[in-house]
Amino acid sequence: MSEEPGPSDTQPQSQSQSQSQSQSQSQSQSSSSSSSAPQSSSQSSSSSGSGTLSSVDTIPVRDLSSIPEEAEDPEEPPPQPWGRLLPMEKGFAMHNCIKDEYWFGRDRRCDYSFNNALIRKSEKYASYSKKHFRIFRESGIPYIEDHSGNGTYLDGQYMGQGKKLPLANNAELALSVPQNKVFVFIDLTVDEQSNLPKEFKDKYLISRKIGSGVCGEVKLAFERSTCKKVAVKTINKKDFSSTDRTNPSAEREIEILKKVDHPCLIKTVDFFQTEETYYIVLELMEGGELFDRVRSRSGLKESTAKLYFYQMLLAVEYLHNNGIIHRDLKPENVLLSSNSDVCLIKITDFNQSKILEEASLMKTLCGTPTYLAPEVFTHAETVGYSRAVDCWSLGVLLFVCLSGYPPFHTHQGINLSIKEQITQGLYSFLPSIWNKISEQAKDLVKKLLVVDPEKRLSVQQALQHPWLQVSSSVIQ
């Protein structure tokens, strides 16, 4: 049965329609691929299947660009911490404060739990509460609130259960007893490091002041990559230099100091400088200064003084053998490794004269002359002086360690100045104190406090003195 013709087959075409169709066919053919063979009119007519061309036949095909993938929302930057807790005690780790509230304690459900293997080994662990304290923010201000049974201490101040206090930048937090310092809080909304060299800021995070002296102040700092604690000494160049320019020779001397390697000498870790300031990164000692130890006890036991003094002699002997004269030996420059009587000591601030200008340094040191040798006053402006100046200072140090007071002072009606007492070698042993001290110890003091440097004991001779040959505990 034959198929009936459709409407398009029977509908008549006008001349214009015919011409239009012919033009459309021509356009369609011209738009075909050049690789196709030319078509005859009959082929063209039959290819339409009806007499009317579809839109596919009439509209030239164009390549479309690839459909774009659905655009992803840009990732939001991670929230930035507003505070940071840096660890002061083994077992505790750095903690960034991002949320508005954090709980700290032994409970494992606390945001920061003390329940880890290292902290559990500590004898103090039992004194920590399940919820010891919390840190939080109100109206952008950080606070700490005590929830413990045995106490939380903020910068040495006992807080009291339920009490909250503002948490200042560089505040120290201690648990149960004020000596058990576990964290330093850094307020990251406060920029106190803008004046530091970029190289320093990239490597260290500076914290609170832990000491000061005539040559500058010392601050606690943390190595960013490890959270290791270090000490950073800052020295204002204007106090010791006639120029504000950077000093290449200072960097050379620091490189020499980095190679100094003795268990009783503070290790120089790093060095930075700007046009105004030196930054010397040093090994940190946790036990504080010998000065504070002697002052708090009004002198040391003779056995303890012997232990410390023996280590001082070994350190100074090493310096002298390496061509370094300290020239500023005093209790503030002798640091202790712990609060125990039996501990390692380390001498710091050696070789400063190689970094600072000689005249300025000596003028500064003479402002506090208690430990300076007589020849520093009498010959400094005319001739140089030898390593014997350190031996005199060691004699003063030993005197102070044994008695708790300096040999040269202006108390008790003494009319001579300290400089006059030193240059004349005038001092005395108060019977109420020195009668308890051995004759050998007093003999060593006398042989070190000799005005004539040629007759003064050397470090090597002091090490051979009978007082140090008597059996005593010495840290190897």
Question: Catalytic residues, which ones?
Answer: 328
Q: What's the DSSP call for residue 353?
A: G
Per-residue confidence band for 184, with pLDDT thresholds at 50, 70 and 90:
very high
**Structure confidence at residue 75 (pLDDT):** 77
Residue 109 reports pLDDT greater than 90? yes
pLDDT digits 0-9 by tens, 144-172: 999 999 999 999 999 999 999 999 999 99
Per-residue confidence band for 74, with pLDDT thresholds at 50, 70 and 90:
low
The pTM of the whole model exceeds 0.85: no
Residue 403 reports pLDDT greater than 60? yes
State mean pLDDT over 414-434.
94
Q: What is the mean pLDDT of the chain?
A: 83
35-44, 282-291, 402-411: lowest mean pLDDT where? Answer: 35-44
Give dist(CA 324, CA 316) in Å, integer.
9
363 versus 42: which is more confidently predicted?
A: 363
| Candidate ranges 52-61, 131-140, 251-260; pick with highest mean pLDDT | 131-140
Nearest to 311 by CA among 446, 421, 104, 468: 468
State mean pLDDT over 39-59.
44
> How many beta carbons lie within 10 A of that of residue 110, not counting itself?
18
Q: Are 366 and 374 in contact (CB under 8 A)?
A: no
**Structure confidence at residue 365 (pLDDT):** 60
Residue 223 reports pLDDT greater than 80? yes
Residue 474 reports pLDDT greater than 50? no
Residue 391 reports pLDDT greater than 50? yes
State mean pLDDT over 266-277.
91
**Structure confidence at residue 12 (pLDDT):** 39
- The contacts of residue 335 (CB under 8 Å, 6+ apart) are 266, 285, 287, 288, 289, 290, 345, 346, 347, 348
pLDDT digits 0-9 by tens, 196-222: 999 999 999 888 888 887 678 899 999
Q: Which domains does the chain have, with CATH numbers?
A: 83-187 (2.60.200.20), 198-283 (3.30.200.20), 290-469 (1.10.510.10)
Q: Are 427 and 410 in contact (CB under 8 A)?
A: no
> How many beta carbons lie within 10 A of that of residue 379, not counting itself?
13
State mean pLDDT over 382-401.
89
**Structure confidence at residue 457 (pLDDT):** 98
